Every structure is written in C-alpha cells, then in structure tokens.
Amino acid sequence: MNLTEIKTLKELKRADYRTKSIKEEIRDNLIAKVKAKEELFTGIIGYDTTVLPDIKRALLAKHNILLLGLRGQAKTRIARSMVDLLDEYIPYVAGSEINDDPFNPISRFAKDLIEEKGDETPISWLHRSERFVEKLATPDVTVADLIGDIDPIKAATLKLAYSDERVVHYGLLPRANRSIFVINELPDLQARIQVGLFNILQEGDVQIRGYKMRLPLDIQFVFTANPEDYTNRGSIVTPLKDRIDSQILTHYPQSLEEAKAITAQEARHLNGRGEVIVPDAVLNIIERVGFIARESDMVDEKSGVSARMAISAFENIMSSVELRMLANDEKESIVRVSDIYAMIPAITGKIELVYEGEQEGPYQVALDLIGEAIKQEFTQYISNPSKTIDEDSQFQVLRKWFSTGNIVEMENDDSNGEYERKLNDVPGLNEIIFDYIDNPTHVHFWKEFVLHALAELNVLNKEMWDGHLNFNDLLANMLDDLDD
C-alpha cells in the first residue's frame, strides 16, 4: 500500500509508520545518500572540499546552521538544496495549521481532534517541497510575523477568552513546524526579535502578548549572514549565536574554471538567438574581471563582488552579439573582444566603490577592470609581452604600420564580412597569431584580441565612443592633435 493512500490514524498505525524529528530525518537520508554515493547539493560548485564537508558534518550532528559569507556565495542556494534530504512525504493531522505529527501533536486543535476521533483521526500528507520556509530578515519584521499574535476576530467568533490557545494566529515559525526554516540576513533582524528566536531554539517556549505557551517546534534552522553585518547594519545577539550550533564560512570561486562553471550553469540561454560562438578567452576575461575587482583598491572588499556579476556580464555580452546579428540579418557570429565592453552595466551595478573609486567614477573603474583582465589573459599566451613586442619582427611590422598614420576603425554593428576585412588589412597580425596561439580556430577574434592587448600595454592607442572603436599609434595621434 502506498503510504500517501493512508487516510486515518488507524491505517497509519497498521502500516507500522514511525515518525522522526526533522533532524533525524535529514541525518538518516544523508547517511543513505553518502553510502549510495549519490550526489549531494547538486548545482553547488567549488565547495566540494571546503564548505560542503562542513555542512554534512553539521547535519550529521543535528545542528542548526549559520552560513556566513559575502553576497553571491550561494548561501541561500545551499539552504534550499537541503530539501532533497527530507523524506518525500510525511503524515500530519488533517486541518492542522502547524503540521502536527499524528503521534505527537503539539497544538490544541490536533490534541482535541485526536481525543475526539481517536484512531479515526483524518491524516493528510505533506510533500517535502512544502516543508521549506524562507524569510528575509528586515528591520520591520515583528514578533507577530515570526511567532504569532492574538486574533481578536477568532476570539469573538469562537467566544473564547484571549488566554485560550485557540485564539492564537500562528506566525511563520509555528507554521514551519517539521520543516526547514531559513532566515536570510539574520543581523538585520531587530535584537528583540532575535531574543524571541533563541528561546524557541533551546526551550521551545513562546510568548504571545504576555501569554506563555509551550510549543516544542521541530525545525531545522538555517541562518545566513554577511560577516560585515556584525559591524555595519546590525549584529547577532550573543545568546542567539551561542544557540546556533555550527557557523560555516562560504567563499568565492577559487579558480577560473570553477567561476566559469558557475556562470555557464546560471546564465540564461535564450532560444532564437542564432549560433553565437564564444571563445574560451572571452569566458576567461569575464571571470578575471571579478577576480581583479575583489583585489582592486577601487572596490570595497568588505562588500564583496558577487558571482552574479559574471552571470549578468555574460548575458549582456551575448545580447550585444544578438543585437548585431539582428542589425545585419546574420544567423551566426562570434563574440568579439569589443563585445566584452557590453558587460560594463553589469559591473557598475554590482560593485561598491571606495572613496578613490568614486573619484575615478564607476564607468572608468569598469573600463580599467576589463583592460586589466584583457592584459592578464594576453600574458597566458605571451609570458613577457613587453620584451616580446620589442624583439619580435612581426610586432615591429605592426607598429610601423600604425606609426605611419594608419588607423583601424571598427563599429559595433560591423557585419562579419566588414569586421574580417578591416582586420585583414593590418599587416603582421596573421603571423603573430600563428606564432603565439595554439590552433587559433577563430583567427579574426585573435587578431582583434592582439590589438586590444597592445592598447592595454600602451603600445597602441585605443579610443571608444558611441559604438565606435579606433586603434591608432599613440605618438602619431598626439602629433595629429598638435597639428589640429
């Protein structure tokens, strides 16, 4: 007999069903999955040897958990993925607002119903997807929101005194009984609300409008917080911190490959876009911007640089290519180096600048970050670029061509054919590509990449405005300005 076909307490007893606390349930399912070598916490990348082992140990120990880390470190995603460690269905007393266990009811409603109907008490089943409650902590959250309040309308309708438990309107916490309860940004919760939480964590007592009742709630608590919140926006009160069993530190991706895997997993891939070729160097540059920003003196390191920046950046770049394809009625194209600058809105919207960065301006900081990322990617192919450029004859051919006043003028909307023609006109580029790039399958991308890299190394001058891009010789350009 399928368990979910059971409709009464009598049938549940006959099936020899045994209820567990939610922490026992998570522990047992975790053990079973580890033994079966099943993947846990799917979609969480880069934490296999750091964060996830700590979480597994905490869950095996039946701990409530605090995930502590900067924004964009998958804290909420980890909490949501814990739902997979719950049983698919659990029974509860039908009609109960707080998912009462039929064998261990805690609400007045469930106790009265079981006393009245006995083994004929109706049973319902709760799917694990309904056993996850998430609340963003904000300063306006009240005790009534989390724990509950007296409902005067219910008291009047049922003709009950306010001291009667049945007139209580339950808040989020009681309704999350036998569930995973997540509070995001815990320090934003007012201290008096946090005090209400730690009593539930330890003793199971709640007070509503001075009326004290015992509700031994069965909850797996998961809290998230930003470490800077302890000093900037609020703090976690000491008694509450003391009652959270495990504090687990999260972190940003530690390698380009991990960062690229996260972006590939999370970015939106839209249908009807046509075929867009994305060179691996573009993906590297996108992720390098995040790594560089986290170390930059212009960016507030305490605020962090979310992994969402790279995701939004990738989506903007893909849309830049799509827009050009639509303008030229083309069915396929490659991401050009100049398309990478379409990520600027994703950068300026997701980084917090220190004073020096504010003086520089967010747009200029974004340009500098992209430029540094291009330079770093270039050094993966030419380890000592300054020396190589001075000594390689093909680079000298290229520099001489620019020094005689030649200019490469490109536009964002150049068709594939126009883009390739302009790059083919530059002498020396082809030889440089095949000398330094292994198996360059998209030659014109690499030609443009060399020009951008030389501009970042101050060998060439680069000017960008209103969808236009010019490469020219720095000295020749200065002399032209003097003539003008």
Average pLDDT over residues 414-435: 94
Residue 483 above 60 pLDDT? Answer: no
Which residue in the block uniquely carries the two structure tokens 């009652």?
243
Contact 375, 400 (CB under 8 A): no
Lowest mean pLDDT among 99-108, 127-136, 265-274, 296-305: 265-274
Look at 82-86, 125-129, 267-271 and tell me which has the smallest mean pLDDT.
Answer: 267-271
Asked if the model's pLDDT at residue 233 lies above 90, the reply is no
The 10s digit of each residue's pLDDT in 256-269 is: 999 999 999 999 88
Residue 233, token pair as written in the block? 């926006």
Q: Is the pLDDT of residue 342 over 80?
A: yes
Look up residue 261 and give its DSSP letter.
H
3-state secondary structure of 357: helix
Residue 300 near residue 354, CB atoms below 8 Å? yes
pLDDT at 45: 95
What are the two backbone dihedrals, phi and then psi, of residue 390, each rounded to the nearest 5 degrees? -70, -30
Is pLDDT at 205 greater than 70 in this prediction? no
Question: Cα dihedral angle (432, 433, 435, 441), rounded to 10 degrees?
Answer: -170
**Residue 167 and residue 158: Cα distance in Å, rounded?**
8
Structure tokens given for 420: 């390739």
In the predicted model, is pLDDT for residue 231 greater than 70? no
- Which residue's structure tokens are 């490109």? 410
Asked if residues 172 and 214 have their Cβ atoms less than 8 Å apart, the reply is: no
Residue 395 has pLDDT above 80, yes or no: yes
Q: Of 86, 101, 96, 170, nearest to 132 (Cα)?
A: 86
Whether the CB-CB separation of 222 and 26 falls below 8 Å is answered with: no
pLDDT at site 232: 46
Q: What is the largest CA-CA distance in the chain?
A: 100
Tens-digit pLDDT profile for residues 136-148: 988 888 878 888 7
Helix (H, G, I), strand (E, B) or coil at 90: strand
Looking at residue 151, its pLDDT comes to: 74
pLDDT at 119: 93
Closest CA to 8 of 123, 156, 89: 123
pLDDT of residue 261: 95
Predicted model pTM: 0.87
Domains observed in the chain: 3-249 (3.40.50.300), 252-380 (1.10.8.80), 382-484 (1.10.10)
Residue 230 has pLDDT above 80, yes or no: no
Residue 470, pLDDT > 90, answer yes
The least confident of 158-162, 356-360, 392-396 is 158-162
Place of tokens 């960062």: 259
Contact 263, 314 (CB under 8 A): yes
Going 66 to 71 to 77 to 80, the CA torsion angle's sign is: positive
Residues 6+ apart with CB under 8 A from 156: none
State the Cα–Cα distance between residues 241 and 164, nearest whole angstrom.
Answer: 33
Distance, in Å, from the CA atom of 148 to the CA atom of 465, rounded to the nearest integer, reads: 58
Number of Cβ atoms within 10 Å of the Cβ of 239: 14
The tokens describing 56, both together, are 């597994």
Task: Identify the pLDDT of residue 234.
Answer: 63
Cα dihedral 174, 244, 234, 224 sign: negative
Give 9-65 pLDDT, tens digit per residue: 999 999 999 999 999 999 999 999 999 999 999 999 999 999 999 999 999 999 999
